[in-house]
Structure 1
């Protein structure tokens, strides 16, 4: 039984690590958003942008080192990798902001619930982008 579990974990190691670090990235995003919007009373869109920036920085480092184990540190390669990472995250970040705007401002849904749901969409998209475009072998 233990051997099967280890074999299964090794087979899906990348996905498991992405889920762990994606979860931590989401926690950073949501806690930052909550502290800025609720505790400091900063506008929800501004809070969302700041939370996004902090979570993208965390995600790049953890994805590069732990999830996709991208070991190339040549400057040209790093620049291309970072530009691609930020570009894809900008797309998903804009999508996140758009979802928040439509569902909170226009449709009057609870901002915190929409924030959590938007993050689920963003995590899935970011894995696809990272796997196929950024950290490809």
Structure 2
């Protein structure tokens, strides 16, 4: 009997686009899957927060590395800058693609400073129950 995953129709592949890959969108698009639980447990963002967030990320990334279907496309988000800590985080993302033997595609998203300030202070962002930056002066 076919599994639920095997019975799902597959979308046609765009010409030149790999079936399975890891796509990293860098630049604040939504990187809160490991941040929010860590902030709930340790809102001061101290060493305990950093340790717990690293543990959550390691657990999630270990599971992503174990995915056997080579056609799965993983869309991941991050907010990585030009420093040693973020370079290590980028290496963790790249390692998922390496272990799964699929291409790694990385895109850094940018927008105008005024647009970013408007997005940061938008009403829906301020009402969100997530731990997002909301100070346009930061």
TM-score in terms of structure 2 length: 0.35
Q: Which has the higher contact order (CA 8 A, sep 6+)?
A: 2
Higher percent of residues as helix: 1
Higher percent of residues as strand: 2
Larger radius of gyration, structure 1 or 2? 2
